[in-house]
Amino acid sequence: MKNKIQNHFVSFDKTFYLQKEGEFQNDFLFKQATMELGLSPIFDYQMSFLKNQEKYYIFLTHIKNLNKNSFSYPQPLIFQALFYEKFIEQENFAVLVFDENFTFLCFYKKGKLNGVKNIPQFSLKDILEKNESQRKDLFSQILFEQGRVFELFKYNQSEILISFCDAFGFGEFLSQKTLKTHIKLENLIPENALENLSIFSHKYLDSNANFIKKEKSQMKFYIKSLISFLAFYLATLFFLTLSSYPQYKQNINTKQSNENLTNELLELDLKTKLLNEELEKLNATFKENSMTLQKNEEFLQNLSQNFYPDKNRILILVEMIEILNQNSIKISFLGLENKELKLIFNDKENLDKALNFFENQTRFKILQKDESNYHLILGYDNG
């Protein structure tokens, strides 16, 4: 077969093949197939597929392999016509096609394609390079060992093997070893067998199997594909523009976290004032009871010590939170005790930012740091 691109079929070596199961819209199936096969740009390829129940037998080819005729089918699909045109009686059969540079095997059940197998290193050129003994060894390997041809025959319940361009007699070898019927395609259709089969197939294959798409449908798909491509491109450009978004989001979260902490401290200050007012009321009540005066006074004194608001402490905490916000420093704990501020940071990055800032400060001095646990203790000038 010197001419690999015939008028109405595309040679197997000019196609990409895969099989999928499920239910798909044609456009989605095309996108999935081109993506899985790594074909790009997708506008340069056309798809043909045969659906048998929920199985899809999918073929793609480059548009340069197509002509201007009204139909063109992938090579494995045209052999269905052997059964439909009554060249053979067996509905379960296999077809083995040899070529100078490739060989493939197809299985058919009830006349329809049921699987395709590429057989590497078994082309006419590969077989020609071997002597008679080596050829028999190669035939055995293909039939019974790594090729698994005989196993596939049994699995697909194939009743007959039809070979094409079988120059070295593999079909006869298979027939002798397995007792399967073998016939050459050239004996069934003496002239232009592949081209005639592709023309016969036009009666039995639908538009989905045809690589040549109608212009209206084709343009509609191209427009959809172009819109999808532009949408993807713009989305990609948008996300690239916002490549710093994670850092931006982190800064927003840090600021929000610190603002929440400020609000909590202010709310605590308000609650402390309210508690102080309640303490004053309790103090007046307790004084009226002389029997428990001393105990109640001690209780009030302890409560007053714990809850009496220290405005300077609150101002120090608020000032510290403003510094953290301004420098986008995120903390998980802030405490003030005995004129020492204790800070615990979320990670080393925030601890390092704080160390760099406070090393040059006069208001706050670094008293102690624990880099392994992200702790920092600061002293401060009360002014």
Q: Identify whether residues 57 and 28 lie together within a single domain.
A: yes
Q: Identify whether residues 292 and 346 lie together within a single domain.
A: yes
Tokens 């798409």 sit on residue: 213
Which tokens belong to 293? Answer: 């005066």
Q: Identify whether residues 289 and 356 lie together within a single domain.
A: yes
Q: Identify whether residues 221 and 309 lie together within a single domain.
A: no
Q: Identify whether residues 114 and 75 lie together within a single domain.
A: no
- Which pLDDT tens digits describe the chain residue by residue (383 residues)? 444 444 689 999 999 999 999 999 999 999 999 999 999 999 899 999 999 888 999 999 999 999 878 899 999 999 999 999 999 999 999 999 999 999 999 999 999 999 999 999 999 999 999 999 999 999 999 999 887 899 999 999 999 999 999 999 999 999 998 888 999 999 999 999 999 999 999 999 999 999 998 654 444 555 666 777 777 777 766 666 666 566 666 777 777 877 887 888 788 778 778 877 877 776 665 565 444 345 434 534 543 454 345 567 788 888 888 888 888 889 989 888 878 899 999 899 999 999 999 888 878 889 999 999 999 999 887 65
What is the Cα–Cα distance from 103 to 376, expressed in whole angstroms?
Answer: 73
Based on the structure, what is the number of domains in the chain?
A: 4
Q: Identify whether residues 138 and 34 lie together within a single domain.
A: no
Strand runs (DSSP E) across the chain, as ranges? Answer: 9-10, 15-21, 45-52, 55-62, 73-74, 93-98, 103-109, 112-118, 160-164, 181-184, 331-337, 340-345, 364-370, 375-380
Which tokens belong to 181? Answer: 């019927």
Which tokens belong to 13? Answer: 């070596």
Q: Identify whether residues 278 and 346 lie together within a single domain.
A: yes
Q: Identify whether residues 68 and 207 lie together within a single domain.
A: yes
5: β partners: 10
Q: Identify whether residues 261 and 374 lie together within a single domain.
A: yes
What is the Cα–Cα distance from 31 to 42, expressed in whole angstroms?
Answer: 8
pTM above 0.75, yes or no: no
Q: Identify whether residues 17 and 136 lie together within a single domain.
A: no
Q: What are phi and psi of 60, to 5 degrees?
A: -130, 145
Q: At how many degrees (to 10) do helices 26-37 and 215-241 cross?
A: 60
Q: Identify whether residues 81 and 201 lie together within a single domain.
A: yes
What residue numbers bound the domain in which 229 lies?
Answer: 215-243
Q: What is the chain's percent helix, strand, coil content, to nearest 5?
A: 50, 20, 30
Q: Identify whether residues 375 and 271 lie together within a single domain.
A: yes
